[in-house]
Chain A
Amino acid sequence: MSEIDLETARKVAHLARIAVPEDHLPALATELSQILTFMEQLGEVDIAGVEPMTSVTPMRLKRRPDGVSDGNMQARILSNAPDAREGFFAVPKVVE
């Protein structure tokens, strides 16, 4: 069985940018371990020489002209922002 230890669980939560309280980490580690154990079955499959699927249907993605097709809607773009000021998205201080 795959074992996710507390340290790994803490690291994954941080990489996912989700705050997980210390006392929830053991339960999280157990759940993640259960799911990963289920995935271990994939190890039984012979995948030698198999290409990973990158496109569901074999088709070339369409190209579009490299030009401006839309714009000039600053107010509409900001309309759902939790904090918009002076025409910008506002966030806590990023640079010290």
Chain B
Amino acid sequence: MTELNALTIAAARDLLRAGDLTSTALTQACLTAIEGAGRLNAFVHKTPDLAMARAEAADAWLKAGDAPALCGIPIGIKDLFCTEGVPSQAASRILEGFCPEYESTVSAQLRDAGAVMLGKLNMDEFAMGSSNESSVYGNAINPWRADGQDLTPGGSSGGSAAAVAADLCLGATGTDTGGSIRQPAAFTGTVGIKPTYGRCSRWGIVAFASSLDQAGPMTRTVRDAAIMLEAMCGHDPKDSTSADLAVPDFEAMLTGDIRGQKIGIPREYRMDGMPAEIEALWSGGSAMLRDAGAEIVDISLPHTKYALPAYYVIAPAEASSNLARYDGVRYGHRAKLGPGDGITQMYEKTRAEGFGPEVQRRVMIGTYVLSAGFYDAYYNRARKVRTLIKQDFDRAFAQGIDAILTPATPSAAFQLGAMDDADPVQMYLNDVFTVPVNLAGLPGIALPAGLDAHGLPLGLQLIGRPWDEAALLNTAEVLERAAGFVSKPEKWW
């Protein structure tokens, strides 16, 4: 029989409801797995006592009946989410010791649905990175290996992806500003969905770029993503950009029928120098959807090339504003001051000590593009290009396209340290297929679809119409079944 911690959310839910499994036993199995996986450095703040207390409460609820789907399911929470009484520091030194007095809306909804939090998960500092190498906790490690080398689990939700892939938890929360759910999902053979901007409340999630950030689930199957996403979504008066729309029963809408759906293949995503394996994966995916009765249509998204540069203006600009709050006054780290140091020295020393190199770089780029004389040339121009990128998608959907199929990443997981000597832009290229989706505010899902020559997972991305996560998940599930990805990393940790 499958080890308990390796169950899917759907299977565990059915066993829990039938009384054939207790949340206490399931939670214990996960805690044991976490204890044995220190080498992966996925869980960075563990909350075993809290987890066992919640598991016992979940068991009582399950016994009483009428428990929600997630009742008793052990999950991990990305360190970006504020969790009451549990350290939450966005993997940054500047939030060392910060213990929130409140709970983020998304993690509160999960808690109130009976989910059991096992602890906080590693990530890139302030979610800025694509390899989990900018974390104050050190690198998270991918459970998948090639030639005995440590690989990145991707980023920024690297700890979430590693934990789900290594069966340390049944699901995890992630956040996605430019691909931070979908790229790590692709690197670890897991499923990750970024919903439409406004689906999940951003309240209580440490802000990176407010017009791009969205939370979403990371799971082992599309069905699990549907179950977990439903619990995370919903209107929240505390986030003015949260959408006041009904949340569908995503799982019930997994019909397995995509006949007549029009799937767009954007020609601009066929990049120069794209590895043959990625090409083959992509055309294989479109053949599977065609075989399932979908119509494959070539489409054009002409401004794709400009998505990355626009993103790397807009995201740092918003970050430089959002991160202004870390000044050593209200929470977190404050530098030791020298004699005669005033408040400006306090700010400057605190932020120099508290922010790592990538965060400093982005805050400064953001400051530059917003500064007098450059605002129009960079920031306003980027926002106009963003309009054009969104219009590209609008036009495709107006033509009747239901979903768009692309690769999730330009490569499989790379070695930790491989980018150390590259200029920062090389790392940014990881997000080439995912960034346009954030700029347009659309839902996007990454799912595993094959292995490369080294036996590492490769992912495909499906992009959906705004607010139509239900259809997107349905198409993804059909693709998941056709691809039949069942590989798991061999346990070495």
Contacts and interface: CB of A to CB of B under 8 A. Distances in A.
A16 B240 contact: no
B320 interface: yes
Contacts of B313: 39, 42
Contacts of A82: 328-329, 331-334
A68 interface: no
Contacts of B341: 92
A18 B371 CA distance: 16
Give the interface size class of chain A: 35 or more
Interface in A1-28: 4, 8, 12-20, 28
Nearest to A46: B388
Interface residues of B, number: 73
Interface of B: 97-101, 196-198, 211, 237, 240-241, 243-244, 303, 305-306, 308-310, 312-313, 320, 324, 327-334, 337, 341-349, 351-352, 355, 360-361, 363-369, 371, 378, 380-388, 390, 423-425, 428, 440-441, 466
Contacts of B310: 42
Contact of A12 (B243, B368, B378, B386): B368
Interface of A: 4, 8, 12-20, 28, 31-32, 34-36, 38-45, 47, 50-54, 56-57, 59, 61-62, 64, 73, 76-77, 79-83, 89, 91-94
10 contacts: A4-B368, A15-B367, A41-B305, A45-B381, A47-B388, A50-B387, A52-B384, A79-B99, A80-B331, A94-B343
B98 A80 contact: yes
Given A18-B352, A42-B382, A93 B441 contact: no
Contact of A81 (B198, B330, B337, B386): B330
Contact of B364 (A16, A47, A52, A79): A16
Contacts of A94: 342-343
Contacts of B386: 52-53
Given A57-B196, A61-B241, A15 B342 contact: no
Given A42-B313, A43-B381, A56-B441, 17 more contacts: A12-B371, A16-B320, A17-B351, A19-B345, A20-B360, A32-B368, A39-B312, A42-B309, A42-B378, A47-B381, A56-B198, A62-B240, A80-B98, A80-B99, A82-B333, A89-B329, A93-B342
Contacts of A62: 237, 240, 244
B312 A35 contact: yes
B483 to A, nearest CB: 31
B327 A17 contact: yes
Contacts of A77: 101
Contacts of A56: 197-198, 211, 241, 440-441
Contacts of B196: 57
B364 A41 contact: no
Contacts of A39: 309, 312-313, 369, 378, 382
A79 B424 CA distance: 37
Contacts of B363: 16, 18
Contact of B306 (A32, A42, A93): A42
A80 B365 CA distance: 29
Contact of B424 (A34, A40, A51): A34
Contact of B347 (A17, A41, A89, A93): A17
